[in-house]
Structure 1
Amino acid sequence: MTTAHGEGETGILRCFGQQLRLLRTSRGLTRAELGAKLSYGEDMVASVELGRRIPKPEFIERADAVLEVGGLLTVMKEEVARARYPAFFRDAAKLEAEAVELHVYANQAVPGLLQTEEYARAVFGVLRPPLDEGIVNERVAARLARQEIFHRTPHPLMSFVIDESVLRRPIGGRDVLRGQLEQVLLVSHMRHVEVQVMPLDRDENAGMAGPFTLIETKGERRIAYVEVQNVSRVHSDRESVRALEAKYGTLRAQALTPRESLAYVEKLLGEP
């Protein structure tokens, strides 16, 4: 992984890097020596110490064990991991990871939690101004890591309402779209997940104001996340959340049923 993006994430990376350097030098180790003990190269250690790269969890765990610091580094693992996300999404990512229920309406692109690696790379690749290749790789890896939520126990209850236009838009090309539709079908068969399609021919669509996500956490907090043009907001006040919950209920009623949606995606896959 390469250069981080944004003041918040570079701050935590620099802090972690400085801590690693102080602990390394206090043990009398060079970067090359520590790298050898961690099974990483000297360049990797240098980049982490300078806050230029986001260390993977296994790097942090090995460094903590090798330097015998009793959790001083691993305690920062979660915050370092959050640096993988753009600043505007970081709070939402933390809430998403704690969700017992999660409901998503999408009318611009396939929701990140459902994206294949190829589709995610294409989505980040078309952003303007363009992102550095290293940042694209970083964002793709972070997006795929979020999908661990599908396999968490106990399973969170999840639903998605996706506009038909999203499933027809060939971001990345026809082959990429086909792989993405197959992924949507695969996830649709999970018992704790429901996917619905909002047809273009509906004369009523409650989601014209844009995409949003509803989250309920273990502590029974109910939150809404809204993002437009990389400007995001997490709503926690009951009035705002209730309004979006009502909107989502209407969207589910207007959309195809889960079974009809499954058949629709299968039909799309059969089209030339």
Structure 2
Amino acid sequence: MAKTPLDPSSSMAALYGVHLKRLRERRGWTQRDLAARVFVSPGRVAQLECASGARPTAELTRALDDALEAGGLLVDLWPHVYRESFPDWARRFMELAARAVLIREYASQAVPGLLQTEAYAREVLRVGRTVTSPQVLEERIVSRLARQARLGESDAPELQAILDEAVLTRRVGGDGTMHEQLERLRLACGQHTVQVLPFTSGAHPMLGGSLTILTMPNGTEVAYAEGADQGQLFEEPSDVDLCVRAYDQLRADSLPVVMSARKIANAAEGYRHGGSERRALARKQLQQSRGRQLRRGGGRLPGRRSGA
């Protein structure tokens, strides 16, 4: 029984697969021939051509495009294939973010993706519930780093970031990872508007969540609120206005730019040469010492006083 041809209009992954198969057959190669040229198994090529299995990584796509001399066709399709694995609202947000002229972010738990180092991004992404395999992890890392490239382009958006103080103190990865990441943030203070929301600011409307507000070229705004592995996109003006007011409150409660840069620099210095590990060891030793003192001095009945 003949296999039903893949419908290229059914999904972006199917369109990618149809083009991949067409390019391969045009060169007279088998799936095994192509697989050998890009260092994957023939089964992986078959998966891509059938739009089954894991999505292709950006690195594999570039290798396939080069091997098949596709002139960038597969590379151009890849972002659309990748975004297809996200919910509709997430894809919509990613598309809008790619066109925004102003990005305002409040990060409550981790450094914003646009400012993450690769090592830090790897640590953050690998614990996400939606990362189901090492291949998906690599896809997410490549995509995140690719989005950062826009900040270096001539039409780069203005970036304003508010970091909860918890972002500076939460140890993600080792001391080396944290030191590199905070140094990256310190340098970003000279390129973007970066402020720190101190613990002393107290309660605020975005406790436990993060917020991004995008301003589009036509002046319209959208907002995106995010929690653990879930988010919500707001496009209704009344909803966006509430988010903008919450962001303005966070900004008013944050440290000034110069003081924020100094706090980030001090935090980075604290992770230099294993600083946090030494502090953790010192605290552990102090706790053990106190425990020994309590064991030596505790458990004894008070001495009976003479004449009692």
Query: TM tier, shorter chain?
Result: 0.7 to 0.9
Matched, 1:269 2:273: no
The 5 Å alignment of 1:164-179 reads: 164-179=165-180
Task: Please give the alpha-carbon distance, in whole angstroms, between the structure 2 residues aligned to 1:11 and 1:63.
Answer: 24
C-alpha RMSD over aligned residues: 2.9
Task: Please give the alpha-carbon distance, in whole angstroms, between the structure 2 residues aligned to 1:220 and 1:119.
Answer: 33
Shift of 1:200: 0.3
Shift of 1:22: 3.7
Instruction: Name stretches of at least 5 consecutive residues in structure 1 with no aligned partner.
Output: 1-9
Residues 27 and 269 of structure 1: is their aligned pair in 2 closer, same or farther, counting only changes over 3 Å?
Answer: closer
Answer yes or no: is the 8 Å Cα contact 1:198–1:254 preserved in 2: yes
Map of 2:38 onto structure 1: 40
Answer yes or no: is the 8 Å Cα contact 2:114–2:144 preserved in 1: yes
Runs of at least 4 residues of structure 1 off by over 6 A? none
Task: Please give the alpha-carbon distance, in whole angstroms, between the structure 2 residues aligned to 1:159 and 1:181.
Answer: 17
Task: Please give the alpha-carbon distance, in whole angstroms, between the structure 2 residues aligned to 1:72 and 1:198.
Answer: 44
The 5 Å alignment of 1:224-243 reads: 224-243=223-242
Task: Please give the alpha-carbon distance, in whole angstroms, between the structure 2 residues aligned to 1:162 and 1:130.
Answer: 25
Map of 1:4 onto structure 2: none
Task: Please give the alpha-carbon distance, in whole angstroms, between the structure 2 residues aligned to 1:171 and 1:55.
Answer: 25
Task: Please give the alpha-carbon distance, in whole angstroms, between the structure 2 residues aligned to 1:74 and 1:172.
Answer: 32
Map of 1:125 onto structure 2: 126
Map of 2:24 onto structure 1: 24
Shift of 1:64: 7.1
Matched, 1:58 2:62: yes
Shift of 1:217: 1.9
The 5 Å alignment of 1:83-162 reads: 83=84, 86-87=86-87, 89-128=90-129, 131-162=132-163
Secondary structure of 1:161's counterpart equals strand
Shift of 1:201: 1.2
The 5 Å alignment of 1:197-216 reads: 197-203=196-202, 205-208=204-207, 210-216=209-215
Q: Which amino acid aligns with 1:167?
A: L
Map of 1:255 onto structure 2: 254
Secondary structure of 2:186's counterpart equals helix
TM-score, structure 1 normalization = 0.81
Task: Please give the alpha-carbon distance, in whole angstroms, between the structure 2 residues aligned to 1:73 and 1:263.
Answer: 45
Q: Deviations over 1:134-188 (max 9, x none)?
A: 2222211211111112102122111000100111000213222222111111211
Instruction: Name stretches of at least 5 consecutive residues in structure 2 with no aligned partner.
Output: 1-9, 276-308
Comparing 100-109 with 173-182, which one deviates more in the overlay?
173-182
Secondary structure of 2:156's counterpart equals coil
Task: Please give the alpha-carbon distance, in whole angstroms, between the structure 1 residues aligned to 2:135 and 2:40.
Answer: 19
Q: Which amino acid aligns with 2:159?
A: M
- Identical columns (%): 30
Q: Which amino acid aligns with 2:18?
A: Q
Task: Please give the alpha-carbon distance, in whole angstroms, between the structure 2 residues aligned to 1:129 and 1:151.
Answer: 29
Answer yes or no: is the 8 Å Cα contact 1:124–1:131 preserved in 2: no
Residues 126 and 28 of structure 1: is their aligned pair in 2 closer, same or farther, counting only changes over 3 Å?
Answer: closer
Task: Please give the alpha-carbon distance, in whole angstroms, between the structure 1 residues aligned to 2:129 and 2:57.
Answer: 27
Secondary structure of 2:201's counterpart equals coil
Map of 2:4 onto structure 1: none
Shift of 1:240: 0.8
Secondary structure of 1:201's counterpart equals helix
Indicate the structure (1 or 2) with the bigger Cα radius of gyration.
2
Shift of 1:211: 0.8
Task: Please give the alpha-carbon distance, in whole angstroms, between the structure 2 residues aligned to 1:215 and 1:172.
Answer: 30
Task: Please give the alpha-carbon distance, in whole angstroms, between the structure 2 residues aligned to 1:27 and 1:33.
Answer: 10
**Aligned residue pair count:** 255
Task: Please give the alpha-carbon distance, in whole angstroms, between the structure 2 residues aligned to 1:130 and 1:40.
Answer: 24
Shift of 1:131: 3.2
Q: Which amino acid aligns with 1:126?
A: V
Q: Which amino acid aligns with 2:230?
A: V
Residues 28 and 79 of structure 1: is their aligned pair in 2 closer, same or farther, counting only changes over 3 Å?
Answer: same
Residues 90 and 29 of structure 1: is their aligned pair in 2 closer, same or farther, counting only changes over 3 Å?
Answer: same
TM-score, structure 2 normalization = 0.72
